[in-house]
Structures are given as structure tokens and as C-alpha cells.
Amino acid sequence: MSRKPRNARTDRLADWRLFVQVYLFIGLMMWPSAMGMWFLYMSQQGLAFRDVILVYNKWQNGWKGYSIDQLDYFVRVGQCIYYVTLVFMQYGGLLAVRNRRVSILQSNPLWGPRQNLVVPCGMVATALIAVINLYGPGLQHVFGTTPIPGMFWGLSFCFPVVILVMDELRKLIVRTYPKSGAIL
């Protein structure tokens, strides 16, 4: 409350720099990470990268010794792993874009002058929605979801930390070289 309100005519909530940060910096970390988790699960099931990419009409009963039901189950579990990975990575993205230059240590949502308890409550609510989507008996049939192995819950939770560390490095560069013309 000590800061003056923004000028609605000159100060934009979102500008091109925010979109570059969100889509090109954070988004390009999210997509390969989530896909990597999908391919990791498939490789654990005995299906290497070359066995799932560009196989088209080979993906049928008997492919690599699996029935079509088993292959469909692998895809469903992989999709749920992808979903959970993106849910957790959104945490890192949310915390990273709260401020463009100030470190998360100085703009912590839990305490201090930039406290916003809606952020952690929203994160918990999002995790609960993901759990309900994956484990809710009625919703599994509606959404085609299935429980995922516990290992992938833990691995997925590591990615927001990577996003935060990378964004903290970006913020450090922006603070260290403010007139460098860095677009981020």
C-alpha cells in the first residue's frame, strides 16, 4: 500500500516483455520437461523414443509385444504424468512472474511487504484439483485419467525449482546489467 497506484494509461499490466518471459523463457522450459517425463514413463514400459514417434499404423495390437489395451493404458498414464508435471511447473512460473526484477526472496508471497496469501492457497487448490482429477472414481471415466506412479509425483515437483532458479539467474543478470538492453 506504500506504492502509488499504476497509471492505467501508461502502465500496462502485461506488455511484450512479460509475454517473452512467459512464453519464450518459462514456456520453453515447461514443454520439453513435460514431454521428457512422458518419454521417461514410456521408456520404463519398454517403449523407446523411436518406438512411439512416427509409428502411425504400427501402433496396434501386438506392437512391441503389447496389446492395444496395454498401449492405450501407457498413453493414458503418460498423459496424466504430463498433466501433473505441467501443474507443478505452473507453480514455478507463477512465482517467477510475480516480479520482473526483484528476487523471490525479496518478494515472498508468504510474508513481508509483498505478501499475498492467495498465491499459496491457489497452489494448494490446484494440486487438490489434480489429485481429484487423477484419483476421483467418477472423474477417471469422464476425463480418461488414471493414477500415476509415485516416482513421477516427486520428479514433477523438482521442475518448479528449476524454473525458479533459472528465473532468479535471469533477474540477477537484469539487475546487474540494467542498461544492457536485455529484453527480459
**Side chain identity at residue 101, one-letter code:** R
Helix (H) or strand (E) run with residue 73 in it: helix 68-96
Q: Residue 182: what pLDDT?
A: 59
Top-tier CATH class for 16-176: mainly alpha
Cell numbers 467418477 correspond to 138
Residue ranges of the domains in the chain?
16-176
Q: Residue 98: what pLDDT?
A: 84
Q: Residue 183: what pLDDT?
A: 59
Residue (of 137, 32, 135) closest to 80 by Cα position:
135
The end-to-end CA distance of the chain, in Å, is: 27
How far apart, in whole angstroms, are the C-alpha atoms of residue 46 and residue 64? Answer: 8
How far apart, in whole angstroms, are the C-alpha atoms of residue 2 and residue 65? Answer: 66
Q: Residue 38: what pLDDT?
A: 97
Helix (H/G/I), strand (E/B), else coil: 53:
coil
Q: Residue 46: what pLDDT?
A: 94
Q: Mean pLDDT in each 10-residue stretch from start to end of the chain (184 residues)?
A: 73 78 87 96 95 88 92 96 96 88 85 87 95 91 92 94 92 84 60
How far apart, in whole angstroms, are the C-alpha atoms of residue 66 and residue 59? Answer: 10
Residue 184 and residue 178 in contact, taking contact as beta carbons nearer than 8 Å:
no
C-alpha cell at 79: 498423459
Q: Residue 181: what pLDDT?
A: 62
